[in-house]
Structure 1
C-alpha cells in the first residue's frame, strides 16, 4: 500500500474506533451498513480529498450474506476509493462463485435508488443483489 495514497488521511486505530469510522463512511456515502462485516480491525483510514480508504484487520473474514446465500471473503487489507453510492478500485474483497473467488473491483448502489446493489469483478462480470441483503446484521 503506497504511503503517498494515505497522506493527509484520518486514521482510527483499534476495532471499536475503526468500526465506528467504517460505519460512518458507509452512512455518509449512502452504502449499506452491513457491507463491511469486519472482525479484529487494526486500522481504518480515509483521505477526504481523494476518497481513498483502507482497512487493516488481523485476519481474513468470511461472511455469508444469508438473504442471497453469498459467501464473501474480506482480506486482512482492504483498499478502495469511496464516493457517493460507490466504492471503486476495490482490493481485498472476493465473492464466491461456485468454486471460484473472483476479486470484486467495484460496488455500486443505484442512484436514484432502485433497491439494487451491483458487484463488478475484474473479469467484467457484474452481479446484482437487493440492497437489503447487506443491511447491518445480515
Structure 2
C-alpha cells in the first residue's frame, strides 16, 4: 500500500484480481510461444469469460504449461529465452495461499484486465518481435 495524504490507499497492483490477470497473461504467453512462436492478445470476450472463473481457467492452463514451455524452448532463439522468463514469472504469480473459486465482480474484472494488459505490455517491451 502507498501512503497518500495521511491515509493508506490500496494499489490495484496489490490486489487478487490484478494478480490473476498477470498470471493469465503469463500462461497465455507460454502457450503462444509454444504453439506459434508469437503471442496474440485475447479478445475482450475471452477476458470476460476468464474473469468469471479465473482460478479454474488458470488451473487448466497450468496443466499444459510445462509441455508448452518445453516446446517453446525447442524453438530456440528469442522464443526459448522468453519461455524461461515467462515460466518463472508464472510460478511466482501463483498465489501462495488457498484461493477462492468465485468469479470476479465487475470492478474486479477491470482490475483483472489491468493486470493482464500490464504483464503483456512488459513482455511485449522485452520481446517486441514475438507479439502481435
TM-score range (shorter-chain normalised) is under 0.3
Q: Which has the higher contact order (CA 8 A, sep 6+)?
A: 2
Instruction: Report the TM-score, using the length of structure 1 for normalisation.
Output: 0.26
Give 1 or 2 for the bigger CA radius of gyration. 2
Give 1 or 2: higher helix fraction.
2
Instruction: Report the TM-score, using the length of structure 2 for normalisation.
Output: 0.26
